[in-house]
Amino acid sequence: MADFLKNILGGGSKDSEQAVKPDSDFEDFAASPASPTPVPFEATGNFAAAQTDKPYTAWYRIDERHSLSEFRNEGLIMIVIAIIFSLHVFGTRRNKAKARAWAKANGAILASEFSQVGFVSGIDAEKQPEKAIKQKSLFEYTSYATGRSNIAFVDVKLELIKRFNPIMTIAETISGFFLDSVPTPQDIFEATLYPFDGREEKVVPSIPGAAERISKDPKSAYDGFVWAIVNKDKMQKLRDDRYDVSITFTKDNAKLPVWTTVMSESAEITTALLTDELASAIAQAGELFDCLIVSDQPIDKPRTIEETTPRKRLYLRYRLPSSDKYDDLTPLLTAFVRMADHLAASAHFRPEVMRKIRTVRDENVKQIQKLLDEEKAEERALERDKIKKAKRDAELAGLDAKAQKKYLEKERDKELRKANKKQTVRG
């Protein structure tokens, strides 16, 4: 070991140029390392099969490295999205087609009765009926008509099935089958007619010559009452949903089909209003007809005196036919519009009839007034108790502890005497 270090440190000797004999301590490291021999790779299992089936290819050869089966879930999602989108488009177009079919069938009738239908004149509505109705949403379409004697205006609404959302439609159908409170989805037509009722000068805009034309027209005022013709399947729901119909009594009429009935406040009103033309139109409409209501009372039960003020209107509701053919329903709309003329001419009844009708309304007003008086009495009592408590608290705050104790004992004795007196009176 000493000679080895000497040779390293000495550096210039000839012996240093020769190979240095390693010491015994480094004998294990003296030999040159053997060259590593690679271990042969034995491919086994699925990996070997994958290497055989899909050899290495360039990075851009995606078709050789992947297959469509790897995107199965994404494909299913795209198919579902495509189906939902297709149903949405189909449902939206179907609703629009039904609305246009109604406008095409009834636009001419409204145009012949009113000077303006929808958002165009009556003449244009007759030539282009699709312009007489406007889309409010994917399942609601609206229109209106004005410019006629005895009628201020008519509001029209089509409420269609939500065909653009079949999941919601199916859910509502199932719920309506099991629950009476949930209506089954249907295509519905609703029209609300507001008569002038003798107020033409207040309702009609002040345009040149309007007053002269109004003065030449017959008076449009008529007596206030509630009268209705309803489909018997809808009768109970109408009584539950509408206050005005709930105050009538029900009686069948020989002029009407057996599946309908009359709801009226007086038999004399039915005799005056149920014309042969109206009865024939309802019979021709068939079971698509739901109800026709003439009313001067609110739909919701009034809770204040102001809400009992009569507001006359006519209401018509029927279901749209699935075939979009309105030959059997157009006479009903015509009779509904012309009923305003019949009311102005014939709805004037004997004092005895109107006295009976007013009795029901006066009784309702008395009940409302009684409830309002009770509410006011409760408010006054609460206010008195509040003032009394504030006075008591002020008196207690001004006393010392001994006086407060005496005050509370006196108060407790007084309450006990009152309680005993009440028990004695009851006994």
Cβ atoms of residues 161 and 186 within 8 Å: yes
Both tokens assigned to 351: 């004092």
Angle at 155 between CA 124 and CA 207, to 5 degrees: 65
Give me the average pLDDT of each 10-residue run along the chain (427 residues): 50 47 52 55 50 61 77 91 93 93 90 83 70 89 90 94 91 85 89 90 59 59 94 92 92 94 94 94 95 94 86 96 92 95 92 91 88 88 88 83 83 82 66
Q: Parse the chain into domains and list their residue ranges.
A: 77-355, 360-426
Angle at 198 between CA 193 and CA 200, to 5 degrees: 80
Q: How far is CA 127 from the centre of its chain?
A: 34
Q: What are phi and psi of 206, to 5 degrees?
A: -80, 90
Element (H, E) at 159: strand 151-159
